[in-house]
A and B are shown apart, each in its own frame.
Chain A
């Protein structure tokens, strides 16, 4: 598992570490303790970036981020299903 220290991440993105902690508190990401230091998974970076844009650009609070995350995942799986169905229609046309 590849991780990055929260401290390093926050310095790079110029955001407070409380942002990451808040994301963790609504279970949008998981904070991992490695040798007394807090880390996040590299795989979660894309998700964190998205949450940063929504929070800082659009003033979306953390509870709403959780709702948005849930709904966008649903949209994503529905879009995938739609692609499969469209291809199925092409097959019968």
Chain B
């Protein structure tokens, strides 16, 4: 746990007035506010840090204690006790007032918790009924996990959330789960949970939206004379393909409806494109070489 220099965070000096603190905070908050930094985790982290700095420095009593203990935050135990007492005294005064703390305890640094305690309540009272903060989570799945809609259980902030992930979800797609973000008391609206999907492709198939692409080896004899070729689809089914005589390398065939399931369109699938790479034989015997020589003379 490291000492956090709140003055440095806000870019102000230790003699800054309340007005200067507020001005510095507002300037940084405008820059890093989550509403103006879409899906920017770095900005979110920075926003939490400057909020913490503001919480401490904009409260004259907290600031006094912070200045007094500063880097010797380990000795702040006495202050924590005093804070507890004060909290109890303030209880009756605050009764009935709608307050909303837009930050969870885990949003504060360990340094902050050690110095000011876990029961710390934000000074600013925002208007009651505000929406709780949205949470962001990431979920990694294999490409083969999304061939059918499946139920999954996620643990977010120590809470298990059951959800059905629709088949065919895109890599990096974000879905919103309503009301599973920050819980808000006093009639406010709970935040939402945003899940970003990281789809890992550990198959020989390449995906482009709903279509799949695969390259398969074709031996030279089958390419010239034609014949049957068994290929395996992404759902591990065997398909018999008829290879036309004189098939050229890089020839591509489309297998309709053998691609990825289309997101939220049950029973509909993309296509599978199979490209042939003709494999020439190696380690030829003298007999084979002789036959190929004869063949080449015929052309």
Taking beta carbons and an 8 Å cutoff, which residues of A are in contact with B? 12-15, 49-50, 52-54, 56-60, 68, 71-72, 75-76, 79, 83, 86-88, 90-91
- Contact code string B125-139 (vs A, CB < 8 Å = 1, else 0): 011111100000000
Beyond A56-B127, A83-B173, whether A14 also contacts B98 by CB under 8 A is yes
A83-B173, A90-B171, A90-B201 given as contacts; is B30 within 8 A of A60 (CB)?
Answer: yes
A-B contact count (CB 8 A): 61
Let me know if B29 and A91 touch, CB within 8 A: no
B268 beta carbon closer than 8 Å to chain A: no
A56 & B126 in contact (Cβ 8 Å cutoff): yes
Q: B35, A14: Cβ atoms under 8 Å? A: no
Are B201 and A54 closer than 8 Å at their CB atoms? no
Find out whether the CB atom of B38 lies under 8 angstroms from the CB atom of A79.
Answer: yes
Interface residues of A, dominant DSSP: helix
Interface size on B, residues (CB 8 A): 27
CB-CB under 8 A from B256, the residues of chain A are: none
Closest-by-CB residue of A relative to B128 is: A14
User: Are A68 and B36 in contact, with the CB atoms below 8 A?
Assistant: yes
Q: How distant is the Cα of A9 from the Cα of B118 in the complex, in angstroms?
A: 34
Complex formed: what's the CA distance from A91 to B209 in Å?
Answer: 10
Distance A75 CA – B40 CA, assembled complex (angstroms): 11
Q: Which residues of B contact A (CB under 8 A)?
A: 26, 29-30, 33, 35-36, 38-39, 98, 126-131, 170-173, 187, 189, 201, 206-209, 213
- CA–CA, A57 to B131, complex, Å? 13
The answer for the CA separation of A44 and B120 in the assembled complex, in Å, is: 34
| Docked pose: A83 CA to B201 CA in angstroms | 16
Q: A13-B129, A58-B29 are in contact. Are A76 and B208 (CB under 8 A)?
A: no
Contacts of A76 in B (CB 8 A): 38
Q: Which residues of A contact B128 (CB under 8 A)?
A: 13-14
Closest CB of chain B to A49's CB: distance in Å?
5
**Alpha-carbon distance between A72 and B38 when the two chains are bound, in angstroms:** 7
Chain A contacts for B127, CB-based, 8 A: 13-15, 52, 56
Given the contacts A75-B38, A79-B38, A49 and B130 also touching, CB distance less than 8 Å: yes
Contacts of A58 in B (CB 8 A): 26, 29-30, 33
Contact A50 B129 (CB under 8 A): no
Q: Which residue of B lies closest to A49 (CB)?
A: B131
Contacts A52-B130, A57-B29, A87-B170 given: A79-B208 contact, CB under 8 Å? Answer: no
Query: B126–A57 contact, CB under 8 A?
Result: yes
| B38 contacts A12, C-beta separation under 8 Å | no
